[in-house]
């Protein structure tokens, strides 16, 4: 991705601040940078939006558990997930099946076309993040993915 001249501010250690305050500042700076990056990524995807990719990822992860699980996974409301998944179904990227029980619960899964598209877009994102990856030293690379996953889990359960 092109450097647009905006950089996250470098926070210097302040002896009057607790480590928890420094952590909070770092998390907020990371979330702000991620939000900016998400907006700049949209032009990479001509045939699908970033929010649709988020939904497709959630369907792949937990679509067999239904709309409620997808809403919880994404942090979106159930009506938003229902509308978004209906659009993805209309586009032929996912399918719905009646679940067990009273027939109201719908299980969702990606179609072959949906899986291929999601895999392709993940590769596009990985290619663009390669620059960031290459700037990490080997010890940071070893820690990066597990730490980001752990932080994502912690942040998801904070509020």
Tell me the chain's radius of gyration from C-alpha atoms: 19
125 compared with 65, residue with greater pLDDT: 65
Report whether 148 contacts 141 (CB < 8 A). Answer: no
156 vs 159: which has the higher pLDDT = 156
Q: 48-159 — its CATH code?
A: 1.10.10.10
Cα–Cα distance list, 144 to 31, 42, 88, 141 (Å): 16, 24, 32, 5
With a cut of 70, say whether residue 122 has pLDDT above it.
Answer: yes
Residue 155: band (very low, low, confident or very high) from pLDDT cuts 50, 70, 90: confident
* Per-residue pLDDT at 113: 95
Mean per-residue pLDDT over the chain, rounded: 83
pLDDT (0 to 100) of residue 80? 94
Instruction: For residue 65, give every residue at least 6 positions away whose Cβ sits within 8 Å of its Cβ, in sequence order, or none.
Output: 107
What mean pLDDT do residues 46-55 have? 85
Contacts of 141 (CB under 8 A, 6+ apart): 133
Between 8-17, 91-100, 149-158, the lowest mean confidence (pLDDT) is in 8-17
Give the mean pLDDT of 58-83.
Answer: 92
Where does the pLDDT of residue 3 fall: very low under 50, low under 70, confident under 90, or very high at 90 and above? very low
Of 44 and 150, the structure prediction assigns the larger pLDDT to: 150
Domain ranges of the chain: 48-159
Task: State residue 157's pLDDT score.
Answer: 76
Q: List Cβ<8 Å contacts ≥24 apart for 66-69.
A: 66/99, 66/105, 66/106, 66/107, 66/108, 67/106, 67/108
- How confident is the model over 102-118, as a mean pLDDT? 87
pLDDT digits (tens, 9 = 90+) for 11-50: 555 677 888 888 888 888 888 887 777 667 666 667 888 8
Q: Could you give the CA distance from residue 112 to residue 156 in angstroms, rounded to a whole number?
A: 30
Q: Please give the structure tokens belonging to residue 146.
A: 């597990």
């Amino acid at each position: 991705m092109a450097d647009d001249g905006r950089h996250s501010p470098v926070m210097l250690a302040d002896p009057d601040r607790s480590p928890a305050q420094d952590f909070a500042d770092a998390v907020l700076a990371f979330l702000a940078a991620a939000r900016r990056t998400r907006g700049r990524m949209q032009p990479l995807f001509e045939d699908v939006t970033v929010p649709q990719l988020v939904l497709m990822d959630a369907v792949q992860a937990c679509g067999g558990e239904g709309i409620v699980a997808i809403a919880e996974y994404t942090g979106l409301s159930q009506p938003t997930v229902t509308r978004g998944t209906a659009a993805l179904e209309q586009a032929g990227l996912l399918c719905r099946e009646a679940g067990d029980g009273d027939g109201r619960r719908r299980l969702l899964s990606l179609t072959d076309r949906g899986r291929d598209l999601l895999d392709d877009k993940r590769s596009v994102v990985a290619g663009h993040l390669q620059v960031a990856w290459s700037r990490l030293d080997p010890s940071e690379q070893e820690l990066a993915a597990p730490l980001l996953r752990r932080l994502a889990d912690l942040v998801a359960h904070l509020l």
